[in-house]
Amino acid sequence: MSIFEYNGSAVVAMVGKNCFAIASDRRLGVQLQTIATDFQRISKIHDHLFIGLSGVATDVQTLYQRLVFRHKLYQLREERDMKPETFACLVSAILYEKRFGPYLCQPVIAGLGEDDKPFICTMDSIGAKELAKDFVVSGTASESLYGACEAMYKPDLEADELFETISQALLSSVDRDCLSGWGGHVYVVTPNEIKERILKGRMD
């Protein structure tokens, strides 16, 4: 078993029409033993920027605290919020800096940039970015997430349709992975509002 599979995880982000959605499962486990069913993998950096971290739970929390610290320093210095593209470069640099003893995380970054254009990307544990215009996935359920997203995704979805699509893709994917599951946590972000919803799993 890979160390990235130790706690189990599933994270996915999707692009809609002037909006984006990011979702994760809620299970925290130690291999096949479930420890908690309300683990938070998605974090808000600011109103138009979110990050989801799959991988080892302790590194997820450590990396998130470092990223919040660096973003607050940026806000103090620049007096503005960080653009998603800039934040992706920051995450990549922090991960690559530790490449000889890496954070065991695979981030998914989603945000709204200039002119409310959605931006999503993911990267590996040493910061190699993968940009996409439709969806990105990471975690132990990534193979089934790719299949579900390929089947369900359509371009230029409105916020409500995007929520339904990402929710169905997440729930059907974690059913096929024994290391992730117990429902999901979904954020749908438009220029004017943030919708947060918790999905019930089949086991609830």
pLDDT (0 to 100) of residue 195:
87
Length of the chain: 204
Alpha helices in the chain (DSSP H): 57-78, 84-97, 142-152, 159-174
Lowest mean pLDDT, pick from 81-85, 96-100, 123-127, 195-199: 195-199
Residue 202 pLDDT exceeds 70:
no
What is the per-residue pLDDT across 14-55, written as a single tens digit (0 to 9) for each?
A: 999 999 999 999 999 999 899 999 999 999 999 999 999 999
Residue 203 pLDDT exceeds 60:
no
Residues 82 and 68: their CA atoms lie apart, in Å, by 11
Residues 7 and 27: their CA atoms lie apart, in Å, by 8
Does an H or E element contain 10, and which?
strand 10-15
How many CA atoms, within 13 angstroms, populate the side-chain half-sphere of residue 173? 32
